[in-house]
Structure 1
Amino acid sequence: MTGHPPAEFALHVVHEPPSLYVRVSGELDYDTGDDLVAAVTGILSDDAEPLDEVRLDFGTLTHIDASGLAALLLVHRRAGARGAALYLDNRPDVLERMLHVTNVLDHLTGPAETAFGSDEDREDGEVTGTGSSV
């Protein structure tokens, strides 16, 4: 079997309060998920400067498995406990598929902020209220 060697996992962390930026490269899986959680949690645990947002950049992510997804869920939980919003930036197809198949994208990121996706735009097409059946 002639396969490509797995891409080397790497994290590039930039802490500029009130934001934390983490570029995740390579494979986010069983062997590397704890590294991501530890890097983010270490900064979130620092009471010196509160964070408003945690931005994870996946532009160079090559693979994610269920353990990597579990790491994202844990990062989300810990960021939320500190009052910080989580953003998943530059999502490659492999991450998009995982988020959609598992139906956790909205849970992890909350309302999407896109050119069309402000809350006001979405409300125009929503059916709300009690209504009645005829």
Structure 2
Amino acid sequence: MKFTNKDLCSLLFTDLSPSQSRCNTCSKVYKSGNGYTNQVHHLLKRHPDYHDLAVAAFRKGNRFGVTLPDQRTNDIFRWIEWCVMERMPVSFCERPLVRKNVKMDPISAETLQKYLDLVYLHMAGAALDAIS
């Protein structure tokens, strides 16, 4: 999972004011200038495992307690949404022109079908539970 400096700082620091932020791991306070240099330098120097900390914070959720999906999960959802809403065949995702022009990570028809089946089974189970 790749994070920008902005992502790292929003996950691993708490804004105290527009000009200050606090490290969520060690509580050290840093000045926030126009960028994220101070915070990123702190992470590199004091928390060599900062990437693991960022992944854990990302999976845990944001300040509002909302759990956010990772990029791969989001891409799979978007592929499913596109195929279902536009009534496209599953093999649509393997067309060269589609692959060339799409911004999502590529996916195979087999993988897309697997996730479509999983969504179907989940929704069928939820529907049965709702009517029982």
Query: What is the TM-score when the length of structure 1 is the normalising length?
Result: 0.25
Q: Tell me which structure has the larger Cα radius of gyration.
A: 2
